[in-house]
Amino acid sequence: MKDNLMVKLSRFIVEKRYLIFLILVISVIFSAFSVQWVKVENDLTKYLPDEAMSTEALNLMGEEFVTYGSADIMLANVTYDEAERIYKEIRDIDGVQSVTFDNTTVHYNNASALYSVMFAYPDKDERCLVALETIEEKYQDYDIYVSTLLGNAVQENLEKETTVIMAISSILVVIVLILTSESYGEVPVLLLTFLSAMILNMGTNFVMGTISFISNSVTSTLQLALSLDYAVIMVNRYREERQSLPTEDAVVAALSKAIPEITSSSLTTIGGLCAMLFMQFKVGPDMGINLIKAIFFALFAVFFIMPGLLVLFAPLIDKWKHKSFIPKVSFIGEFAYKSYKVIAPVFLVVALIAMYISGSCPYAYGEDGIPTPLKNETQIAKQMMSDTFTSTNMIAVIVPSGDFDSERELLNELTAMDEVHSAMGLANIEAMDGYTLTSKLNPRQFAELADLDYEIAQFLYTAYATEHEEYGEIIRGVSNYGIPLMDIFLYVCDMLDQGLVELDIEQMNMLSDLKVQLNSGKDQLLGENYNRMLVYTTLPLGSETTYEFVETVKATAQSYYPDGDVHVVGNVTTEMDFKESFVLDNVVVSVVSILIVLVVLLFTFNSVAMPIVLIMVIQGSIWLNFSYPTIIDDPVFFLSYLITSSIQMGANIDYAIVAASRFMEVKDKMPKKEAITETMNFAFHTIITSGSIMVAAGFLVGNITSSGSIVSMGQGLFRGTCISIVLCLFVLPQMLLKSEKLVDCTSFSTASLKNVAKNLLEVKDNEERVTD
């Protein structure tokens, strides 16, 4: 008999194994370099929908204003006099533009001082870090805490934590594989397969340009957990074929049978992950693509690399055989047969209750609302500052430029609000002698303020009017000509730089210092088309009251600029955008993941009822999973909920598929009690192997990281997989027994369709005979 296409392909892969090994070695070497090309994005706001409130405002701020580097620095156990002395010292450090410090509880409390430092350079400038390091080194003998967004501290911390997670995961995987294998020689084959897939996936991430820190941190761990089934299936097939065939023929036969089986198994996982591609919040597509790519590399490793490894390690596999450590679990099948009439309906009731409870799951839209088992230095500093000082949250209000009178009135109204600690804009920053930066001064006022001769002041005003083509002011006389203080001061500085005006040394030093401050203020608060105001509120993040207050601020600002484009942006508005996108994404992910998995299962089982039964069990585990945080009132990071739901539906359902497929094979060949017992003995190995890896991955990710979003996802996967395993072992068998007849009735297999067609033809023939 001629070999079919699958056998020919498998034989080609086995025969060309050394060529494949060579290509693999070259690819691994390339990946070692290309992994360094991957750019990691730590700012989740970059993934907001284009139409989100924060997206437009952040883009506008990037175009119109300069954001200078900043840091909050806390010194504990200092007297106020000492704190004031240090404030003056920090202010004089090279690279520091300004320091905010006073005797209010915002900056001094419980013998601790908080300095809000602004550096003289934009936040991306490396000189900001140099200045910050100078401060840290100068006060290293104090109890110092630093909170800043400068540098890549977040990414560096996560990379260290990910390394620890992968190291522990590797040890756990080896233990699980030893316990679930039947030969110690299988373990290196499985590990090399996993390692190849992981390295190739990491090495190709650069083609995506930039990936999120979430994808970068957990993809490798989840790849291992999601794709373990495929390698185990291949090993099991090889083990069966090796009993009657020589090594190479056994690998060929095993691969030809495993390819369609593994491909079918991977479709539900890929289908669940595809749901993330439809999310508005672009971290979903980012992580979905990364995980789907990881699955494809896992399939590639199993189909192309693993066959050669099996041939290579075959002598060791044969030599190091051991008894299986996985026990028979006949008691599960016996229990299922005795209890299916009770457990199945009880589960349906519990699932409906869980659906209702999980609908009230508390969500967090900022990482600060998620407690983490580990805290990095920045988190510790922020917590210390929050516990010690009156905390404030900053929001930026962006309004059309050109109307400083309206800006002043708006700032006064905002400052008077109970929720506002302070508000700052060009129109209320005091320069000197009671004048603000935008106060309009005539020549005499300016001469008195700057200690200039009146004639020089008149000359400067005339030159300013000429340069700005305001000739009417010259004709009327410049004595009543008013120019904003910051504009005339900066103009004088330019005249000094050009050598057109000469002043004494004291005046020049004063103007030189003032020029730096004025330019900094203009860069941050005055754009070409918009002005920016900074409002510091005393309301907490993640609060509905805060969200409502933001709307109040925007409405108030809009009342002063009825025909202008007004924006409000800050951490709180980002949370509001996350919340808004989650409403739709939650529905989309749930519906799409169920529909895709449903379609795959329909063609897998050729039955309408079986997919519904399996999805009901896994969806029930999802509802139970998120009932827990509802009951204990523990917020779940919204993104973690979406990712966890997708992975549970796509990956955990594989456990149910294994059991259901086996039951459909044996249910008509033996009594139902023996059939369900045989089913669970067969499925237990796969469920416990894959499930334990996913449980371990979730536990490690949820307990060895300082990122709230990743912690929340890990905890959800750990809890959800545990529930899925329990349901697949102690509820699914009962559901299979209870729904057996319904599954048969809704079958649309080819054989069933042929029988239906045959019956219809017989009926038609009988009708024709009667007619004749």
Cβ neighbours of residue 708 under 8 Å, at least 6 residues apart?
Answer: 364, 367, 368, 369, 370, 371, 372, 637
Q: What pLDDT is recorded for position 762?
A: 57
pLDDT along the chain (772 residues), means of 10: 77 92 93 87 84 84 87 93 93 89 89 92 89 92 90 78 84 82 87 90 88 86 81 85 90 90 84 88 90 92 94 90 81 92 94 94 85 84 87 88 87 91 84 77 84 83 85 81 83 75 67 72 84 89 87 92 88 88 88 88 87 92 94 90 87 85 88 91 85 88 87 92 93 93 80 50 52 48
Q: What pLDDT is recorded for position 770?
A: 47
Please give the structure tokens belonging to residue 604. Answer: 């897998």
CB 556 within 8 A of CB 411: no
Q: What pLDDT is recorded for position 630?
A: 94
52: number of Cβ within 10 Å: 21
Written as one letter, the residue type at 611 is P
Residues counted in the chain: 772
Written as one letter, the residue type at 43 is D
From the number of C-beta atoms within 10 Å of its C-beta (0-12, 13-18, 19+), residue 462 rates as: middle
- Closest Cα partner for 367 from 574, 155, 152, 219? 574
**C-alpha to C-alpha distance for 612 and 752, rounded to whole angstroms:** 20
**C-alpha to C-alpha distance for 707 and 162, rounded to whole angstroms:** 11
Q: How many helices and strands in the chain, by DSSP H and E?
A: 29, 17
DSSP-assigned letter for residue 540: P
Helical pair 653-666 and 247-274, crossing angle rounded to 10 deg: 120
Q: Residue with structure tokens 């911390």?
A: 157
**C-alpha to C-alpha distance for 673 and 677, rounded to whole angstroms:** 6
Name the β-bridge partners of 432.
435
CB 681 within 8 A of CB 324: no
- The H or E element containing residue 294 is helix 283-300
Q: What pLDDT is recorded for position 240?
A: 84
**Measured CA distances, 98 to 127, 516, 770 (Å):** 15, 10, 103
